[in-house]
Amino acid sequence: MIEALDPMGTPEDAVNDLMSRPDFDHEYIHHLPTSMRLLDMTAFDELYYPPEIAGSFAESVDMLIRAAYARRNPLEPAVMADLYNKRELMKAQGVHGATLAGMILLVGNSGMGKTRLVRAVLGRMPQGIVHTKYAGTSFNATQVTWLSVDAPIRGSQKGLMLRMLSALDEAAGLSGTPAAYGPLHHKDSVDSLIGTFGTAAANHHLGVLHVDDLQRISSLRSEKYTALQFIIQLANAVKCPVIFSGTPDIEQDYAKEFEAIRRMCSGGYFQLKRSKEFGQRLLKAAFKFQWTNTPVQPTDEQIARLRTYTQDITSVTLLMYKEAQRLALQNGDAQLSSEHFRRVYHTTLRPMHAALRALRRGGAEAEASYENLFPQNASRSGDPT
Ligand SMILES: Nc1ncnc2c1ncn2[C@@H]1O[C@H](COP(=O)(O)OP(=O)(O)OP(=O)(O)O)[C@@H](O)[C@H]1O
Ligand SMILES: [Mg+2]
């Protein structure tokens, strides 16, 4: 299973792999009419400028996956025998059983880029690998290296289980076939779904499971705790590591349960923090891509002003940049100016003003009030903006 993955590189290699630039050729754009430029601008979303923690985060994830695979060599009879009786195993192993695989916790404010970072790091590996033989002997298996699921908002454990099953179907190429797990089990109880997923994940040699925004599963602390306990139990039985990502709420919610929080970060703890350096670098990277006639170089002063608008929140920075550009094009202006940014801040970003103001006020409560005020779903990856 490990041999099917790329050899591990250094954190610097990982950062290089993660970095992504949009397809952009100003020479070509110059000849396009406004409407075509607006269309071409969608390429901007491909820009990915890895945050500071990207290298070490990627390294920890890579290590975790390989360490977990090393513990369960599929060619060893003891491991194979074990594949067929997950339910018994799960019952026997409570949350307090030995930790079999590590877990990574990634925490950051809304819109900082948690989801995108995890998906980009995982996306460096092929999600499904079909094996037919190994070292001359036949070995048939579809290895699923990673799964990434969103916790359903105020959802149930059953909802989460069904998402995991359909993600597994998708990754193993089973969707739409009679062998797909999702449609076959959607009426099952949670208990039996755990069993089904456990066996399915083990049979497909799942490398790592990513659960995004676990804090959203319920507004009740007790239910959040049950949800976490449940995933830990599941991961223990499948022997697969888990990556959790979420807003700082996740820490607060679980801080009282020392056991839970200790397990959640046993394989590493990472914070995507707002920082001046990253805010500046991201803006400078963005300014390399201008669809207007005359590209401009922002001065340090201008960058500083833009940062007071965005408060170094990644999604706000990028949204503001895109919208300013759109405005300039629609107005037929030859170049981007501070006025475009100011207008965008007072129109498109208006719903976020209260949240951004909380950050500007600073203080101990700033980030918490930001989370309460930030419009839900305003920064989700893939949303049309
Ligand atoms: N390092 C980056 N470089 C370029 N774009 C980024 C970067 N990080 C995030 N983005 C973009 O910023 C937006 C917000 O990112 P993302 O959805 O990953 O944030 P999040 O932390 O998961 O937020 P939420 O808590 O709301 O789920 C997305 O459009 C994403 O593509
Ligand atoms: Mg997210």
- Residue of higher predicted confidence among 70 and 19: 19
Are 157 and 226 in contact by the 8 Å Cβ rule? The answer is: yes
Q: How confident is the model at residue 319 (pLDDT cuts 50, 70, 90)?
A: very high
pLDDT at 229 over 50: yes
Pick 234 or 91 by higher pLDDT: 234
Q: State the CB neighbour count (10 A cutoff) for residue 207.
A: 27
Ligand 1: does its nearest atom lie under 6 Å from the Cβ of 18?
A: no
- Beta-carbon neighbour count of residue 243 at 10 Å? 28
Task: Tell me if 290 CB under 6 Å of ligand 1.
Answer: no
Per-residue tokens: 99: 């930790």
CA of 50 to the centre of ligand 2 (A): 16
| 115 touches ligand 1 (CB under 6 Å) | yes
Find, among 168, 144, 210, the residue nearest to 1 by Cα: 144
Kindly tell me if the per-residue pLDDT of 273 is higher than 80.
Answer: yes
For residue 118 the two structure tokens come to 């995890």
Residue 118 alpha carbon to ligand 1 centre in Å: 10
Residue 169 neighbours by CB distance under 10 Å: 21
∠365-367-369 over CA atoms, to 5°?
65
How large is the average pLDDT for residues 148-168?
89
**Does the pLDDT of residue 283 top 60, yes or no?**
yes
Ligand 1 close to Cβ of residue 381 (< 6 A)? yes
CA-wise closest residue to 288 among 280, 297, 299, 300: 297
Which residue, judged by its Cα, is nearest atom 16 of ligand 1?
113
Q: Which long-range contacts (CB under 8 A, 24 or more apart) does 168-175 make?
A: 168/144, 168/197, 168/200, 168/201, 168/204, 168/206, 171/127, 171/128, 171/144, 171/146, 171/147, 171/204, 172/128, 172/142, 172/144, 172/204, 173/128, 173/142
Non-local CB neighbours of 187 within 8 Å, separated by 6+ positions: none
Cα-to-centroid distance, 98 and ligand 2 (Å): 30
pLDDT exceeds cutoff 90 at 345: yes
Report the pLDDT averaged over residues 342-359.
94
Would you say the CB of residue 274 lies under 6 angstroms from ligand 1?
no
pLDDT value at position 109?
Answer: 92
Q: Could you tell me the distance, in angstroms and rounded to a whole number, from the CA of residue 214 to the centre of ligand 2?
A: 10
pTM of the model: 0.89
Count the Cβ atoms, other than its own, within 10 Å of residue 316: 24
- Contact of 29 with 37, CB cutoff 8 Å: yes
Work out the average pLDDT over 89-117.
Answer: 74
Ligand at shortest distance from the CA of 310: 1
- Which of 148, 315, 373, 383, when mutated, tests ligand 1's pocket best, judged by the most ligand atoms within 8 Å of its CB? 315
Instruction: Tell me which of 251, 321, 380, 385 to substitute to probe ligand 1's pocket, judged by most ligand atoms within 8 Å of the beta carbon.
Output: 380
Nearest-atom index, ligand 1, CA of 382? 29
Lowest average pLDDT, out of 65-79, 136-150, 157-171, goes to 65-79
Distance 295 CA to ligand 1 centre (A): 25
Q: Cβ(194)–Cβ(234) under 8 Å?
A: yes
pLDDT at 164: 92
CA–CA separation, 108 and 132 (whole Å): 41
Q: Which fold has domain 54-272?
A: Rossmann fold (3.40.50)
47, 152, 219, 311 from 379: Cα distances, Å: 16, 17, 21, 15
Spatial CA neighbour of 288 closest among 319, 255, 264, 321:
321
Ligand 1 center to 285 CA (angstroms): 15
Nearest atom (ligand 1) to Cα of 45: 31
Tell me, in angstroms, the distance from the centre of ligand 2 to residue 182's CA: 24
Q: What is the mean pLDDT of residues 241-270?
A: 83
209 SS3 class: strand
Could you tell me if the CB of 47 is within 6 A of ligand 1?
yes
Cβ of residue 279 lying under 6 Å from some atom of ligand 1: no
pLDDT tens, position by position, 185-199:
889 988 888 888 888
Ligand 1 atom 28, closest CA: 381
Type of residue at 303: I
Using most ligand atoms within 8 A of CB, pick from 20, 214, 270, 314 the residue to mutate for ligand 1: 314
Domain edges within the chain? 20-46+274-373, 54-272
**What is the spatial distance between Cα 314 and Cα 300, in angstroms, rounded to a whole number?**
18
Residue 331 has pLDDT above 90, yes or no: yes
Ligand nearest to C-alpha 374: 1
Distance CA 209, CA 122 (A): 10
Q: How far is the CA of 294 from the centre of ligand 2 (A)?
A: 35
> Model confidence at 57, in pLDDT bands (50, 70, 90)?
very high
Provide the token pair at 130. Answer: 């079909």
The whole-angstrom separation of Cα 303 and Cα 280 is 7
The amino acid at residue 86 is K
Q: Are 129 and 145 in contact (CB under 8 A)?
A: yes
Rounded distance from Cα 239 to ligand 2 centre (Å)? 25
Q: Are 190 and 161 in contact (CB under 8 A)?
A: yes
Q: What is the mean pLDDT of residues 352-366?
A: 89
The ligand 1 atom nearest the CA atom of 314: 12
Residue 204 has pLDDT above 80, yes or no: yes
The angle, 0 to 180 degrees and rounded to 10, between the axes of the packed helices 314-331 and 276-286 is 30
Place of tokens 């399915």: 200
pLDDT, position 110: 92
